[in-house]
Structure 1
Amino acid sequence: MTALLDVQGLTRRFTLPRSFGRRTAPRVVHAVEDVSFEVAAGEVLAVVGESGCGKTTVARMLAGLDTATSGTVALAGRELTGGRTPADQRLIQLVTQNPRAAFNRRRTLRHALDQPLRVHGLGAGRAERDALVAEMVERVGLSTEHLDRLPGELSGGELARLVLARALLVRPRVLVLDEPTASLDASVKATVVDLLLRLRAESDLAIVVITHEIDIARRLADRAAVMYLGRIVELGPAASVLARPRHPYPRLLLASVPVPDPERTGPASAADFGAGAIGEVPSALDPPSGCAFHPRCALATEVCAERRPVREILDDVEVACHHPA
């Protein structure tokens, strides 16, 4: 399939201010390094990894809320990496992690959903905007009665659906979801996941889901990318990456997922996937040489410390590892 969203070499580094009175060199946080991927219309890409691996920074750069140090974001062949016009801005919509923080608690939900239409000049007048809002609210499984309430009067699941409705109202081509189910309980998560699957089936949106929840990624995604310390270490079909990963790090991630097996007498371990980890995640202020995962990898050799692996295609998966499984 032809890519709708094309991300190449995306890099974001933050320079920290010098400490007062010290003449040391500026310190640099390597938040995202050389991230590349493509997403087709109607496709869902899950970006998974531990907290602090750079997932949210990628999401903010995709939506134009943060400026890349280098690299490009292109939509339908047109680069959006530079300054974006309002028309460009609405084409990639970001749904943030906490739905309660996404609304002004002193204004009604009708006001919150009307504002994007006014800003982007969608809808000929108040009556048409009201009709568009009502249609979208019903599309996400709610009634127009919710619109005249304040955010504090609604549940987390209802607010999560309204955040989606607001993003979809401006007719985006790409939807970026940052931890869309992290703050929801299990039953509400299932409702939101089913809604996203239905929305994908009804439209040609390209969807990028940022998550650390492997089960959510398995349910939603066509393809998956695993990030570690700002870099993608494995990318490919979700059925392969999230079931039979070739890189030691995603194997470790899978080992941390609880196994619902009544016959099991103990928790899953890294040994179940043939991978183990040593120590803690290194600092993004001083990333290791070579493969960033090598200080923690039980399979690491000298070449892992000396040379950074490039992503190579093994079967249907791209893997950045000197010793893939």
Structure 2
Amino acid sequence: MTPLVVQDLTVTYPNGHRALTDVALTVRGGERCALVGRSGSGKTTLVRAILGLLPAGTRTTGSIRVDGREVLGAPEHTLRRLRGLLVGYVPQDPFAACDPLRTVGHHVAEAWTAHGRTPPTGAIGAALGAVGIADAARRARHHPHQWSGGMLQRATLVAGTAHTPVLTLADEPTSALDTELADEALDLLRRCCGALLLISHDLALVARHAESVLVLAEGRVVERGPAATVLHTPTAAETRRLVAAATPPPRRVIPSDRSGPVVAQVRGVSRRYGRGPGAVTALDDVSLTLTAGEVVGVVGRSGSGKSTLARIVGGMERPDTGTVHLDGRDAWSGRRTLRAGFVMPIFQDPVASLDRRWALWRTLTEPLLARGERHPRARRRELARQALDRVGLTEIDVDRLPASLSVGQAQRVAIARAIVARPALLIADEPTASLDVAAAAEITTLLRAVADDGAALLVVSHDQQRLAGYADRIATMTTGRLTPGGQPRYAAAG
């Protein structure tokens, strides 16, 4: 049987938005097919349609056959038997995929228990260890918030492929992983499933691991073919734009006379989680200074301590030892008098960082209220539209709720909200991880402009090539330690 055959699929959401129009796709046994396109192009909608997870009231026409079985319109009990056993799924948002009240091990075990089975003895620890989780059996007893985004993404990969399904749907499975781990994860997927439909914004990764590519734009297929052909000699205008945007930017030329006032400084900070022999050292005697007008990038493997450093620099988490100064004041002295919006975060999990009950106009203008600004609703809505325009979301209605957005769109909303506050210090944890290459290029240009306007930026990212195009300094985290002083790496190379 052919693992996946999609014919003339059209999907219209209850609000009238047509997300897919006449989409056709075939993934043969053993094939690695990649689905690419901008955020909001319909990629995740296609995955949800295959899994039977579209919202109630969604209208669908066409056909979706998985291993010869029609799933479009199939009853829920039939779909439940398919999910996990015949169709594996690696979600785009690993935090949302996990129950925050249960352990990571419980999340992985559900691959068996959801079907009335018991995980083989030692299977969970062995599988987590195989994807690079150190001390996996003990770490599996931790809760999701105790894992980095990259580690949690690997755990969802293990859960999604536990039964070696005939077809695995992987929705941005490597967005929180460094290049080495991303390749390892894709190699694991190749071994653990019969066929793979990979949704990814990383065209270099697609070129290395996919045999065929299908390009979506505004819910329609605009190009398809062998990966080598589509990515090297694209014919559709949309594909050409994506390929052009994926070209690594030139290394930033750092002005020799750049020297602004110190905005944030940490000295000798350390942070440990847990107690006793099972404690994890996230930061070990780290020092870093950020000045106005500069972008400092931090790179390193998943779980190396990057996100912990970002939270501590921004005063969002207290270190066990060392000092944190923001605007020349001790952040933990009890006498902090920073203005509202002095520090603004862009979190690694954009969906969870937006209040799902609030319309976008309210989310985007909330920082202004915190600053003491009072505007009538009409003005707040206009300011929200301007903020969305700035991050390339002109077409998004300010009355929409976060749940109606793709993860990439939610990420851009989170960035817009942070910039609205006009912060002196912007802390961005993987700000481009969920974005397509075109949107990522636009956002990095915007982040550079924010720094040039006088803000200090600390950017945690796995995309070292893109980071080199707009950062003034790049530091490397390795098991809780930072390269001495976060010295310029690319400036020295030039």
User: How high is the TM-score relative to the length of structure 1?
Assistant: 0.69
1:47 counterpart SS class: strand
1:70 aligns to what?
61
1:133 counterpart SS class: helix
Distance, in Å, in 2 between the alignment partners of 1:284 and 1:43 is 36
Residues 99-138 of structure 1: matches in 2 within 5 Å? 99-123=94-118, 128-138=119-129
Residues 54-69 of structure 1: matches in 2 within 5 Å? 54-66=42-54, 69=60
1:244 aligns with 2:207: no
Q: State the AA in 2 paired with 1:156.
A: G
Over 3 Å counting, the alpha-carbon distance change for 1:203 and 1:117 in structure 2 is closer
Distance, in Å, in 2 between the alignment partners of 1:282 and 1:131 is 50
Over 3 Å counting, the alpha-carbon distance change for 1:153 and 1:258 in structure 2 is same
Measure how far apart 1:3 and its partner are. 3.0
Of 170, 174, 180, which aligns to 2:173? Answer: 180
Q: Is the 8 A contact 1:9 1:33 kept in 2?
A: yes
Residues 9-24 of structure 1: matches in 2 within 5 Å? 9-16=8-15
1:34 aligns to what?
22
Distance, in Å, in 1 between the alignment partners of 2:168 and 2:5 is 14
2:40 aligns to what?
52
1:140 aligns with 2:131: yes
Q: Is the 8 A contact 1:6 1:73 kept in 2?
A: yes
Over 3 Å counting, the alpha-carbon distance change for 1:34 and 1:46 in structure 2 is same
Measure how far apart 1:284 and its partner are. 10
1:211 aligns to what?
200
1:230 aligns with 2:219: yes
Aligned residues: 249
Distance, in Å, in 1 between the alignment partners of 2:130 and 2:83 is 23
When Rg is computed on C-alpha atoms for both structures, the one with the higher figure is: 2
1:234 counterpart SS class: strand
Measure how far apart 1:189 and its partner are. 4.1
1:6 counterpart SS class: strand
Of 78, 85, 89, which aligns to 2:83? Answer: 89
1:158 counterpart SS class: helix
1:306 aligns to what?
none
Measure how far apart 1:147 and its partner are. 1.0
Q: Is the 8 A contact 2:165 2:193 kept in 1?
A: no
Q: State the AA in 2 paired with 1:113.
A: V
Measure how far apart 1:12 and its partner are. 0.3
Gaps of 5+ in 2: 252-391, 398-494
Measure how far apart 1:248 and its partner are. 1.9
Distance, in Å, in 1 between the alignment partners of 2:109 and 2:172 is 25
Q: State the AA in 2 paired with 1:157.
A: G
Measure how far apart 1:260 and its partner are. 5.9
Distance, in Å, in 2 between the alignment partners of 1:64 and 1:93 is 13
Gaps of 5+ in 1: 17-27, 263-279, 286-325
Over 3 Å counting, the alpha-carbon distance change for 1:116 and 1:203 in structure 2 is closer
2:3 counterpart SS class: strand
Of 151, 168, 173, which aligns to 1:158? Answer: 151
2:101 counterpart SS class: coil
How far does the alpha carbon of each residue in 1:99-149 deviate from its partner, in whole angstroms, 9 at most, with x for none?
2222122221122222231120223xxxx5443323322333332222111
Q: Which has the higher contact order (CA 8 A, sep 6+)?
A: 1
Distance, in Å, in 2 between the alignment partners of 1:204 and 1:141 is 19
1:197 aligns with 2:187: yes
- Please, what is the CA RMSD of the aligned residues? 2.7
Q: Is the 8 A contact 2:213 2:230 kept in 1?
A: yes
Over 3 Å counting, the alpha-carbon distance change for 1:181 and 1:68 in structure 2 is farther
Q: Is the 8 A contact 1:229 1:284 kept in 2?
A: no
Measure how far apart 1:157 and its partner are. 1.8
Of 253, 256, 266, which aligns to 2:242? Answer: 253
How far does the alpha carbon of each residue in 1:169-190 deviate from its partner, in whole angstroms, 9 at most, with x for none?
24422111112233x26xx243
Q: Is the 8 A contact 1:45 1:207 kept in 2?
A: yes
Q: Is the 8 A contact 2:166 2:193 kept in 1?
A: yes
Distance, in Å, in 2 between the alignment partners of 1:203 and 1:253 is 29
Distance, in Å, in 1 between the alignment partners of 2:393 and 2:97 is 31
Of 152, 162, 182, which aligns to 1:169? Answer: 162
2:279 aligns to what?
none
1:6 aligns with 2:5: yes
Q: State the AA in 2 paired with 1:106.
A: L
Measure how far apart 1:261 and its partner are. 6.5
Q: State the AA in 1 paired with 2:21.
A: E
Between the aligned residues of both structures, percent identity stands at 32
Distance, in Å, in 2 between the alignment partners of 1:229 and 1:54 is 7
Q: Is the 8 A contact 2:89 2:161 kept in 1?
A: no
Q: Is the 8 A contact 1:61 1:68 kept in 2?
A: no
Distance, in Å, in 1 between the alignment partners of 2:174 and 2:52 is 23
Over 3 Å counting, the alpha-carbon distance change for 1:198 and 1:88 in structure 2 is closer
Over 3 Å counting, the alpha-carbon distance change for 1:282 and 1:70 in structure 2 is farther
